[in-house]
Amino acid sequence: MNLRCLIVDDEQAALNVLTNYISKTPFLELAGAFTDPIAALEVIYKEQIDIVFLDIHMPEISGLEWIKLLRGKSKVILTTAYSQYALDGYNLDVVDYLLKPVPFDRFLHAVQKVQDILTVKPIATPEPVPVPVAPAASSDHVFVKVDSKIMKVRFQDILYIEGLGNYVSIFTETGRLVTLSTMKEVEEYLSDTYFMRVHRSYIIAFNRVEYIEGNQIFLNKNTNVPLGETYRERFFKLLEESMMNRK
């Protein structure tokens, strides 16, 4: 299945790079490249577009505001020079974000995510089992499918888990594992003893919390995740209980 793409970026150099990458990818078809985000929206509303490569910093309208106007009509891959906007993109259900300058292998990884999401698999094909073969209640680990491997992940090694559509990223001290799953499925397999949902897109290892500042939970000095309003009361109740237990 060919995927029809739009590029929306106010920098011509960025348009040229992505246009070149799309031309080299057999299952992608370029439907248009725009420096004007409003003109791009008009195309989206009239035609079937599968993927939008979208810059965040644009003069007329920000990429994040543009996504809201998109109303879910296409899958979005953010392209930006600013990594701090990744969390905002995740909250708007983007498929991936690419940091400029975008390497070709990273570009391919992102579009393959979209391909996996949009491709309807034959009935005879068994569904992938992302986060694990269900562990026993007393288990201290899970097994996750990452690419062609099934990997053991110990609860004690996990910092947090981030949801992104039909995928989750498991972040440990040593790296990141991406597997096909939903946050709901992950919650069913994780031990409540170790983990807590703190945001629509985040589950944290509670014993990794170093401090809380505003609506940010810091797991170490370089790692923080947002605390969602829906989860705030339960989080602070558990935190209060933990403080009492240490007296």
Q: Are 154 and 174 in contact (CB under 8 A)?
A: no
Long-range CB pairs of 105-110 (<8 Å, 24+ gap) are 107/18, 107/21, 108/25, 110/77
Could you give the C-alpha distances from 71 to 38, 47, 190, in angstroms and in order?
14, 14, 32
Distance CA 162, CA 200 (A): 9
Distance CA 65, CA 32 (A): 20
Mean pLDDT for the stretch of residues 161-176: 85
Mean pLDDT for the stretch of residues 51-63: 86
pLDDT of residue 149: 80
Whether a cis peptide bond, with omega within 30° of 0, leads into 101 is yes
Mean pLDDT for the stretch of residues 79-87: 65
Mean per-residue pLDDT over the chain, rounded: 82
Identify the band that residue 142 occupies on the pLDDT scale cut at 50, 70 and 90. confident
Lowest-pLDDT range of 19-28, 49-58, 128-137, 163-172: 128-137
pLDDT of residue 125: 44
Distance CA 151, CA 16 (A): 38
Topology of domain 3-118, per CATH? Rossmann fold (3.40.50)
Of 79 and 148, more confident: 79
Report the C-alpha dihedral over residues 87, 90, 95, 98, rounded to 10 degrees.
Answer: -10
Question: What does pTM read for this prediction?
Answer: 0.49
Could you give the C-alpha distances from 111 to 12, 16, 39, 46, 50, in angstroms and in order?
21, 17, 23, 22, 10
Evaluate whether 3-118 and 141-245 have a shared fold. Answer: no
pLDDT of residue 222: 81
Distance CA 147, CA 118 (A): 17
**Strand stretches in 117-194, DSSP E:** 141-146, 149-154, 158-164, 167-172, 175-180
Distance CA 75, CA 94 (A): 7
pLDDT of residue 124: 43
Topology of domain 141-245, per CATH? OB fold (Dihydrolipoamide Acetyltransferase, E2P) (2.40.50)
Mean pLDDT for the stretch of residues 183-204: 83
Indicate the domain borders of the chain: 3-118, 141-245
